[in-house]
Amino acid sequence: MFWKKAKNLAQKDIEPDEIFLDSKNLPGFERDLFEGRIETPVSPQIPRFILTIFVLGSLAIVFQLFSLQIFNHDGYLARAENNTLVRTRLPAERGLIYDRDMREIAWNEPDGRSYWKKPGLAHLVGYTGYPEDFSGDISPQAKVGRAGIEKAYDNILRGKDGSRLVEESASGEILSEAVELDPENGEGVVLTIDAEIQSELFSIIASVVRERGFKAGSAVVVDTESGDILSAVSFPEFDSAVLSGNSSENQLDSYFKSADSPFFFRAFEGLYAPGSIFKTIVALGVLSEKIIDPSRQILSSGSISIPNPYFPEEPSVFYDWKAHGLVDMRRAIAVSSNVYFYTVGGGFGNQAGLGVKKIVDYASRMGLGADVGVELSEAEGFLPTPEWKEKNTPSDPVWRVGDTYNLSIGQGMLQVTPLQMAQIAAVIANDGLKKDIHIVKSLVSKNGFRAPELEPDKKTAISEDAFKVVKEGMMQAVEYGTASALSGLGVKIAGKTGTAELGSEKKKVNSWFMGFMPYESPKFALAVVLEAGSSQNLVGSTYVAREFIGWIIHNRPELVGSVN
């Protein structure tokens, strides 16, 4: 009976009002759980549609696999066996080199590296070539720096090469390619050099060397306020473009066979006896040690004589270049009296001398016998000592007063570079303050300029009073002394000349000039040396200085101030 009743209830139709009534009166009714909602059944077409897509996709995959492994098997197998995947170099663009005014002095062209067309920059900038060492990340096809700034800053200028993957067929046909690694272009290097000053000074030296019979010449110009090297000239030179590959065999042969050593950077690496420009250093030592009052006069009659240890009856005579009469310290610098500096350097009669050890000490304080510290290769020079002579000259191991006399006037085995003497001229101009001499002004990248860190200024352990006397003597050298060829230019100049005799016959000399200007407020210092000219030559380094300063007055007036 119960079952029958239940069956009847199940078959009974439900009225719509009952549904809405239940929905309204349902206790705890929650719409978020879809309570009270009317359910709509999913259409039977949707599952069929999804199934159809799945079946068709599966059939497509099966067909593709069948095609690869059955129909096109031989073709793909041949491609896999015969094709090669090659990694090719994407060269980075080499960074440019600029002078201080952002003139391009080394740049890139489709056929290779190009350089400033005017002469004078080859030793500084250098050249590029194929690498000798293939270690690291350097490609055999890459060009690397082989000399000068190109070499010293090669890692910065060269950048980093990228790479490309290329798929090639057996016949060499490119089937596909893709960049694997983008190249990173090199950074630029800005030098302290003024390219126009460099080329002009080079041309002046080249002209004098050729016309007056010198072998070679060199000069260095330093900004006394910043330590920037404005110019560093070495004549003769090579052509950077020729050495970088844009050349013929004949051009290269002419360089390698030249007796004038065009690859030799004399400005930084040339070693020379300084001659009388070294007297400025001896004077600083003598004044600092109070060996003599600067106003006391010494008689220069043309020579002094001392006993000869080998031939007692034949005294050793040390000559002045002329008899100067009575001279004090300032005048001795101005007229370059040898006798005065023999006396105060090595001692004579009742006058004590500074002595070899103190001379070497003060030369060291001024920077001789050591690197200046520039970014390119340089020579240290040489300061002879009694210990060195004893060890290296067994036939005559004893250091004698005559050796000290020769050292006092910049002769003998003493060796300096033009760079060192330009630094010394700048130190004298700055009353003993030593700047960090440098040739790189900044680096250039996509992020802007980055200046190198410089050493702080250093004060030499020499009294300012001593520098004052030496500067006055150098000013008088220009007013009436050995550098008087520089007078009358309308700007006050301090200078010192030097003539270093070469060989036992003394027929050849190195001609020196060292100085700074303007005298009251120095802007730049200059050192010039002309190599192995005739001892009878009346035109030398002072003439170079005059021509150069005249050009500066007209073309770089900011370096000389007002002109009278």
Same domain flag for 199 and 173: no
- 2: pLDDT strictly greater than 60: no
pLDDT value for 553: 96
Whether 78 maps to a domain, the answer reads: no
Residues in contact with 127: Cβ distance below 8 Å, sequence separation at least 6, in sequence order: 113, 115, 145, 146, 147, 148, 150, 238, 240, 241, 243, 244
pLDDT of residue 39: 54
Asked whether residue 141 carries a pLDDT value surpassing 80, the answer given is no
Per the domain annotation, does 224 fall within a domain?
A: yes
Three-state DSSP class for 113? strand
Q: 351 and 242: one domain?
A: yes
In a domain, 351, yes or no: yes
Residue 38 lies in a domain: no
Write the CB contacts of 425 (distance below 8 Å, at least 6 apart in sequence): 222, 514, 515, 516, 525, 526, 527
Q: Residue 507 — pLDDT band, cuts 50, 70, 90?
A: confident
User: pLDDT digits over 146-189, tens only?
Assistant: 999 999 999 999 999 888 888 877 777 777 878 888 889 999 99
**Cβ within 8 Å of residue 143, ≥6 positions away:** 94, 112, 113, 128, 129, 130, 244, 245
Question: Does 180 share its domain with 320?
Answer: no
Residues 155 and 113 in one domain: yes
Q: Is residue 437 part of a domain?
A: yes
Q: Is residue 58 part of a domain?
A: no
The angle that helices 418-429 and 464-479 make with each other, rounded to 10 degrees, is 110
Residue 21 forms part of a structural domain: no
Q: Which two tokens stand for residue 26?
A: 């349902």
Q: What's the structural domain count of the chain?
A: 2
Query: How much is the mean pLDDT over the chain?
Result: 88
Residue 4: per-residue pLDDT: 41
Residue 514 in contact with residue 416, Cβ under 8 Å? no
Q: Are residues 205 and 179 in the same domain?
A: no
Domain boundary among 142, 170, 190: 190
240 and 175 fall within a common domain: no
Q: What is the CATH number of the domain that holds 169?
A: 3.90.1310.10
pLDDT at 411 over 60: yes
Do 329 and 399 lie in one domain? The reply is: yes
Residue 5 has pLDDT above 50, yes or no: no
Q: Decide if pLDDT at 339 tops 80.
A: yes
pTM metric for this prediction: 0.83
* Banded pLDDT at 480 (limits 50, 70, 90): very high
Same domain, 165 and 271: no
Strands 458-459 and 524-534: unpaired
At which of 130, 164, 190 does a domain end? 190
Range of the domain at 121: 87-190
Q: Which helix (H) or strand (E) holds 282?
A: helix 279-288
Residue where a domain stops, chosen among 172, 190, 208: 190
Does one domain contain both 122 and 206? Answer: no
pLDDT in tens, 12-33: 455 555 554 444 444 554 555 4
d(CA 102, CA 536): 43
Pairing of strands 97-98, 188-191: parallel
Q: What single-letter amino acid sits at 492?
A: K
pLDDT of 45: 75
Max CA-CA distance within the chain?
167
Instruction: Tell me, yes or no, whether 57 lies in a domain.
Output: no
Reading the block at residue 83, the tokens are: 């094709």
Determine contact, residues 432/405, Cβ cutoff 8 Å.
Answer: no
Ranking 7-16, 163-172, 379-388, 395-404 by mean pLDDT, the lowest is 7-16
Question: Do 245 and 311 belong together in one domain?
Answer: yes
pLDDT in tens, 81-133: 667 778 788 889 999 999 999 999 999 998 889 999 999 999 999 999 888 77
Asked if residue 359 and residue 341 are part of one domain, the reply reads yes
Q: Return the pLDDT at 70.
A: 63
Tell me how far apart the alpha carbons of residues 493 and 478 are, in angstroms, rounded to a whole number.
7
- Rounded Cα gap, residues 527 and 421, in angstroms: 6
Same domain, 113 and 232: no
Q: What is the CATH number of the domain that holds 376?
A: 3.40.710.10
Please write the tens of the pLDDT for every residue from 248-301.
667 777 888 788 889 999 999 999 999 999 999 999 999 999 999 999 999 999
